Amino acid sequence: MSRRQTGVLASLFIIFVSSGLCAQGDSLETSSWIDWKAGVLIIQVKRDIGDESSPGKARAAFEEYLQREIGSILIGALYDIILDSYRTVKEAVERDTRLLAALVDLGNRAAPSYIHLTTTLDGVTAVYEFDLYPDVLQIFADHSTPFDPPLELDFVPTIEYSGMVIYAKGEFPVHGEDPAHKSPESFRPSLMPKLFDTEMELVAEVGMMDPEYLAEWGTFGYTDTTDYLKHKDRIGVTPLFTMARAVFGDNRTDLLIPVDAAQKILATPANRELIRQGRILIICDISEIPVID
């Protein structure tokens, strides 16, 4: 399929999504949030009942509508999610419509976490939760065999660590951009981030990671607390601690860490295994998830 054909199909699907979401009229409201700490996409769909029918009939009609349209609703919620340093999910789908079919299928197989009438019986609310790992990530990172992390050839004094913790709260220089003309910016979580050292040597990325571990907890873990022991199942009790030095990429999803920190991880087979298992935790600024009705 040509790139032009792919773009046309993606554009047609956007029109389809829009028309599907309007099918229930202006009384339909859809909201979505990403809980990066839990690795979950949350979608809430509300519909006002008004005087058009009894609450029971309205709920039944709403459930029927959701069964037909949740695939489209999921696509709408996913499109703005940052995939990697230069693409959103929407941009990736526009380049490859096979991804679109897989995402629609994911939505069509979903069931709401709960659905209920409002206490005043004038509306009905449904909430869906989609696991980013493995459900969404495996559509974009579909390798079966990871490639090896780079090998540090020089002697580097190090120990065997249980993981890596990178402090990335606040704002950082953007690598490759003139700081005199560009303000510092914050790191942004994504599905497929990369880790470099300050000399722009690649340290870790999704293709280096075992699909079994990606399915369990994704590429990197994200948290906004310094209490790393809450994540000891991932990074253990003796991780390497380091601080980000810069962000990178159009979407500010990639981090640069000091060369000596990268070398300590890449210097031994046991520490490189931490990359293969995705035992990396980023402490960063994360938006709070609102209370779901």
Is 30 part of any domain? yes
Query: In which band, very low, low, confident or very high, does the pLDDT at 182 lie, cut at 50, 70 and 90?
Result: confident
Domain boundary among 140, 155, 176: 140
DSSP string, 92-142: HHHH-HHHHHHHHHHHHT---SEEEE-TTSSEEEEEEEEEIIIIIHHHH--
- pLDDT at residue 53, rounded to an integer: 64
Q: Are residues 168 and 267 in the same domain?
A: yes
Confidence band for 10, pLDDT divided at 50, 70 and 90: very low
Do 132 and 254 belong to one domain? no
One domain for residues 111 and 187: no
Residues 127 and 185 in one domain: no
CA neighbor of 46 nearest in space, from 105, 122, 104, 106 = 122
Residue 292: per-residue pLDDT: 64
Residue 2 in this model has a pLDDT that exceeds 80? no
> Is 234 in the same domain as 276?
yes
Domain range for 175 is 164-283
Of 97 and 292, the structure prediction assigns the larger pLDDT to 97
Q: Is there a domain that residue 290 lies in?
A: no
For residue 291, tell me if it sits in a domain.
no
Do 291 and 167 contact (CB within 8 A), yes or no? no
pLDDT tens per residue, range 27-64: 788 999 999 999 999 999 998 876 666 777 888 888 99
Q: At which of 107, 140, 173 does a domain end?
A: 140
In 199-231, which positions are buried (b, 16+ CB within 10 angstroms) versus exposed (e)?
eeeebbbbebbbbebbeebbbbbbbeeeebeeb
Contacts of 170 (CB under 8 A, 6+ apart): 186, 285
Residues 73 and 191 in one domain: no
Determine the pLDDT at residue 12.
39
136/196 same-domain check: no
Question: Which helix (H) or strand (E) segment is 281 a member of?
Answer: strand 280-283
- pLDDT(195) > 70: yes
pTM: 0.86
pLDDT of residue 1: 44
Q: What are the residue ranges of helices labelled H in the chain?
A: 3-21, 55-78, 89-95, 97-108, 137-140, 211-217, 232-235, 259-266, 269-276
Residue 77 scores a pLDDT above 70: yes
| Assigned domain for 145 exists | no
pLDDT of residue 119: 78
- Closest C-alpha to 58, from 128, 125, 3: 125
Residues 178, 246, single domain; the answer is: yes
Is residue 22 in some structural domain? yes
Q: Are residues 169 and 124 in the same domain?
A: no
> Do 79 and 189 have their domain in common?
no
Kindly report, residue by residue over 273-282, the tens digit of the pLDDT: 999 999 999 9
End-to-end CA distance of the chain: 43
Q: Are residues 238 and 200 in the same domain?
A: yes
In a domain, 112, yes or no: yes
The set of residues, in sequence order, having a beta carbon less than 8 Å from that of 65 and lying 6+ positions away, is 23, 24
Token pair, residue 68, equals 């037909």
Among residues 86, 107, 140, the one where a domain terminates is 140
Examine the pLDDT at 3 and tell me if it is beyond 50: no
Q: What is the pLDDT of residues 119-165, one digit of tens each?
A: 777 789 999 999 999 999 999 998 999 999 988 888 899 999 999 99
Specify if 233 maps to a domain.
yes
Residue 176, Cβ density class (10 Å: 0-12 exposed, 13-18 middle, ≥19 buried): exposed
Kindly report, residue by residue over 207-258, the tens digit of the pLDDT: 999 999 999 999 999 999 999 889 999 999 999 999 999 999 999 999 999 9
Domain count for the chain: 2
**Taking the C-alpha atoms of 194, 35, 174 and 201 in order, what is their torsion angle to the nearest 10 degrees?**
-10
Residue 155 falls within a domain, yes or no?
no
75 with 189, same domain: the answer is no
